[in-house]
Amino acid sequence: MPTAALPPGPRSAIPGLLLARFARDRLGFFQAMAREHGDVSWFRDMGGSFALLNHPDLVRDVLVTQQRLFHKGIGLERAKLLLGEGLLTSEGAFHLRQRRLLQPAFHRERVAGYGAVMGRFAERHVARWRDGVALDASAEMAALTLAIAGKTLFDADVAGDTQVIADAMNEAIHAFALVLLPFGRQLARLPIPPARRFRAARVRMDAVVYRLIGERRADVAAGARDRGDLLTMLVQAQDAEAGGVGMTDEQVRDEALTILLAGHETTANALAWSWWLLAQHPAAEHALHAEVDAVLTSAEGAPRAATVDDLARLPYARMVVSEAMRLRPPAFVLGRTAMQPYAVPGTSWVLPQGTTVFMAQYLLHRDARFWPEPERFDPERWREDTAPGRPRFAYFPFGAGTRVCIGEQFAWMELTLVLATVARRWRLALVPGHPVVPHPVITLRAKHGIRMVAHARHHSH
């Protein structure tokens, strides 16, 4: 292939230098690529080929129009070590079959049924907070969304099982950095401490999940009542198009862990960043409080939890989380691998087969071409009449195409109901001087957490 057909991008004569820079500061590296080389940039290092596509039309082409030419990127390929062949990591016909089997679990009525759990658990969680006491918003939201995921997924109250799974998963994620390195699959098998921790965490996690699956299978066989949880649905799921075949225990395990990780980790991040942004924008915080006070007040005048029936009357709460996910998207970059040479539309450039193609929500969500004053936190920009002409893929927090997040409606509902329920009772203020640094691991976490002081809004507790 003539080199003239390759896009511009960073170059280095020293092998491994570009990938080292990328590993050290992924967001900064992407920002520099887009700034210096435009919407299509490319580099080669250590035998790998990498491209950044930074325009909504190109995102649509890769994720929707030409999606058959692409498979998942290296990060998700490696995530199989933890998640197996779940919806996030599987490909092709198997992926389509699993999606068919899972679809009923995310049916609108079913998801609405989980709404009751969300408000109730949020209310219960924040009842433990104390007026004027500092807390870590990241840790608090992670604990809350985990409890909600545990209840809706496993019908487990957080005390035991879900906590074991979560602790193991957290440990695995911390050790996961090793797996992302070149030769990560081989490194994960070596007797080195992070690899040993990763394997031990996976064993602990699997023990609990397989026990729960066994209990559900016994329940179903005995004709016990449907607990309304996702695990029961996964165990009962049958593929009509394949003669009524169900999932093996291993497939159920992979899907359950995928849903637990994807569902609780991303939602917790979006909520924590929402509190951080609200604390710095009093007008937005005031507007949110006015809305939740009007909607979430019982006949006796006391604060109450949000329910599914309140969603339509909480537009501002949804606008707040929409804007928080614009500025701090939990999934900050999507990767795909080109399965054949890819001609970039509207250009003369061709990406080689095997190129890892990155599309960064973090960049496009704050691109001044599509967002006036992109760095400004402004929930009002989500009013229905303020977005004419904005390209569909200037905002894609849940991905797009046939691989769009299957739990997207579940997530929007949880984000809105939890934000509203908590804001009805509490105002969160930043602890002065605490460093809040975006830390892009698998998701966009806050490196040192987000320290905040909880102020009770109603002294009824």
Domain membership of residue 117 (yes or no) is: yes
CA atoms within 13 A on the CB side of 72: 20
| pLDDT tens-place string over residues 19-56 | 989 988 999 999 999 999 999 999 999 999 999 999 99
Rounded mean pLDDT of 273-287?
98
Which of 280, 282, 278 is closest to 270 using CA atoms?
Answer: 278
pLDDT (mean) for 414-423: 98
Whether residue 129 has pLDDT greater than 60: yes
Same domain, 304 and 431: yes
Is 270 a member of any domain?
yes
At 355 the pLDDT is 95
Is the pLDDT at 110 greater than 50, yes or no? yes
Which of 364, 383, 411 lies at the terminal end of a domain, its last residue? Answer: 364
388 and 256 together in one domain = yes
Question: 6-24 burial string, b = 16+ CB within 10 Å, else e?
Answer: bbebbeeeeeeebbebbee
Mean pLDDT, the chain, rounded, equals 88
Residues 419 and 430 in one domain: yes
Last residue of a domain, one of 364, 379, 413: 364
pLDDT for res 177: 59
Token couple for 145: 């969304």
Q: Is residue 105 part of a domain?
A: yes
Instruction: Please report whether residue 198 resides in a domain.
Output: yes
The pLDDT assigned to 430 comes to 98
Classify 381 as helix, strand or coil: helix
pLDDT number for residue 158: 45
| Residue at 292 is within a domain | yes
Residues 445, 299, single domain; the answer is yes
pLDDT value of residue 186: 63
Which comes out higher in pLDDT, residue 340 or 94?
340
Looking at the structure, do residues 57 and 134 belong to the same domain, yes or no? no
pLDDT at 302: 93
Tens of pLDDT, residues 162-207: 777 777 777 776 666 555 555 556 666 667 777 787 788 888 888 8
- Average pLDDT on 83-88 reads 74
> Are residues 64 and 1 located together in one domain of the fold?
yes
CATH number of domain containing 95: 1.10.630.10
Q: Is 226 exposed, middle or buried (0-12, 13-18, 19+ CB in 10 A)?
A: exposed
Average pLDDT of span 201-229: 85
Which one of 338, 364, 390 terminates a domain? 364
**pLDDT computed for residue 18 by the predictor:** 95
Q: What is the DSSP code (8-state) at residue 432?
A: T
- Per-residue pLDDT tens for 328-352? 999 999 999 999 999 999 999 999 9
pLDDT in tens, 155-164: 875 456 777 7
Dihedral sign from CA coordinates of 381, 358, 338, 174: negative
- Asked if the structure places residue 461 within a domain, the reply is no
**Greatest alpha-carbon span in the chain:** 75
Are 380 and 359 contained in the same domain? no
Q: Is 179 helix (H, G, I), strand (E, B) or coil?
A: helix
What mean pLDDT is predicted for residues 95-105?
80
Helix H segments across 239-333? Answer: 249-279, 282-295, 315-327
Give the pLDDT score at 237: 83
**Same structural domain for residues 136 and 275?**
yes
* Per-residue pLDDT at 1: 45
For the chain, the domain total comes to: 2
Average pLDDT, integer, range 429-442: 92
Q: What string of DSSP letters covers 321-359? A: HHHHHHHS-SS--EEEEESS-EEPTTSS-EEPTTPEEEE
Q: Does residue 149 share a domain with residue 19?
A: no
* Domain coverage including residue 353: 1-84+330-364
- Single-letter amino acid code for the residue at 461: H
pLDDT for the residue 461: 40
Q: Considering just the CA atoms, what is the radius of gyration of the chain in Å? A: 23
Of residues 294 and 262, which shows the higher confidence score?
A: 294
Is the same domain home to 165 and 92? Answer: yes
Residue 385: its pLDDT value, please?
Answer: 67
Q: Judge if 79 and 20 occupy the same domain.
A: yes
Residue 403 lies in a domain: yes
Percent of the chain scoring above 90 in pLDDT: 56
Query: For 347-398, what is each residue's pLDDT tens digit?
Result: 999 999 999 999 999 999 999 999 999 999 999 999 976 666 789 999 999 9
Asked if the structure places residue 426 within a domain, the reply is yes
Residue 410: pLDDT above 70? yes
Residues 105 and 14 in one domain: no
pLDDT band at residue 77 under the 50/70/90 scheme: low
